[in-house]
Amino acid sequence: MTLVLGHRGSSARAPENTLEAFRAARDDGADGVELDVHRSADGVLVVHHDAASPGLGVLAELTAAAIREADLSIPTLAEALDELSGLLVNVEVKNLPPDLDYDPQHRAVDSLVELLAARDDEDRVLVSSFNLDTVDRVRVLDPTIPTGFLTYGMEPGAAVGLAVEHGHGAWHPDRATLAREPMEMVALAHGADLEVNVWTVNEPDELAGFAKAGVDAIVTDVPEVAVRAISGRRA
């Protein structure tokens, strides 16, 4: 079965990475969501795509309380997990060298693993990142947490090889890369015991095509459209 994950929630009809967007994704029939996290100055994970927020500045330089006081729309990851109880949550940890809050110590991962350990076992979480060292850190701290290597434009053989070499269970290719040879690339990854979770796909024909190719999950801005497009692959 191909799962449908709302990209930052149902971001086509609600502000992305907000509790409203996550509720909309559930209402639209999504199996889960993909969301982005950054670490606040006091170690709280907040859900936001960019390292900085307009009018606030770099989130890593502010406490969670200061962020909340300035912008009520930015939830903590704990609040998002509560809202998404029962659904799969793909937590993307943003942490690349060009980022304004880049942290070579990967302290956001430390906060994430600590948070998950303190919660009940019913959370369904998959952690991904473009930074291979970041998802490697997850495996060092808690190898039971599912992890995926997130890539953009990387040659599939190289991406699959790195994911397997580093012990991750999933490859998250971008739409354009996978669209070149979806059947062959999915077969390559599945042959290496990797799940394939492709991002970000919105067109019905392409959604149906990726599902036919056997991808495990599709990240989309329009979960309702995706559910309809791949309904034949969800039985």
Q: Cβ(215)–Cβ(196) under 8 Å?
A: yes
Nearest to 65, CA basis, from 42, 39, 35: 42
* AA identity, residue 108: A
Q: Is the pLDDT of residue 234 over 90?
A: no
* AA identity, residue 111: S
End-to-end CA distance of the chain: 7
Q: Is the pLDDT of residue 71 over 50?
A: yes
Q: What is the mean pLDDT of residues 211-231?
A: 97
Which residue is associated with the tokens 């979806």? 182
Residue 147: CA count within 13 A, CB half-sphere? 29
Q: Cβ(208)–Cβ(229) under 8 Å?
A: yes
* AA identity, residue 84: L
Per-residue model confidence (pLDDT) at position 120: 78
Dihedral angle sign, alpha carbons of residues 184, 189, 191, 192: positive
Prediction pTM value: 0.97
Q: What is the mean pLDDT of residues 77-97?
A: 98
Q: What is the mean pLDDT of residues 72-97?
A: 97
User: What is the average pLDDT score of the chain?
Assistant: 97
Indicate the pairing of strand 3-7 with strand 32-39.
Answer: parallel
Residue 65 belongs to domain spanning: 3-233
What total number of domains does the chain contain?
1
Q: What is the mean pLDDT of residues 78-84?
A: 98
Q: Is the pLDDT of residue 235 over 70?
A: no
Per-residue model confidence (pLDDT) at position 121: 78
Q: What is the mean pLDDT of residues 55-60?
A: 96
Q: What is the mean pLDDT of residues 1-17?
A: 97
CATH number of domain containing 166:
3.20.20.190
Residue-wise pLDDT tens digits, 88-123: 999 999 999 999 999 999 999 999 999 999 997 789
Per-residue model confidence (pLDDT) at position 55: 92
Q: Is the pLDDT of residue 204 over 90?
A: yes
Dihedral angle sign, alpha carbons of residues 51, 57, 61, 64: negative
Q: What is the mean pLDDT of residues 154-162?
A: 98
CB-count burial class (<10 Å; 0-12, 13-18, 19+) for 120: exposed
Q: What is the mean pLDDT of residues 142-161?
A: 98
At residue 176 the predicted structure's pLDDT band, cuts being 50, 70 and 90, is very high
Q: Is the pLDDT of residue 208 over 50?
A: yes
Angle between helices 156-165 and 182-191 (to 10 degrees): 20
Give the integer Cα–Cα distance in Å for 193 and 164.
Answer: 8
Residue-wise pLDDT tens digits, 38-56: 999 999 999 999 999 999 9
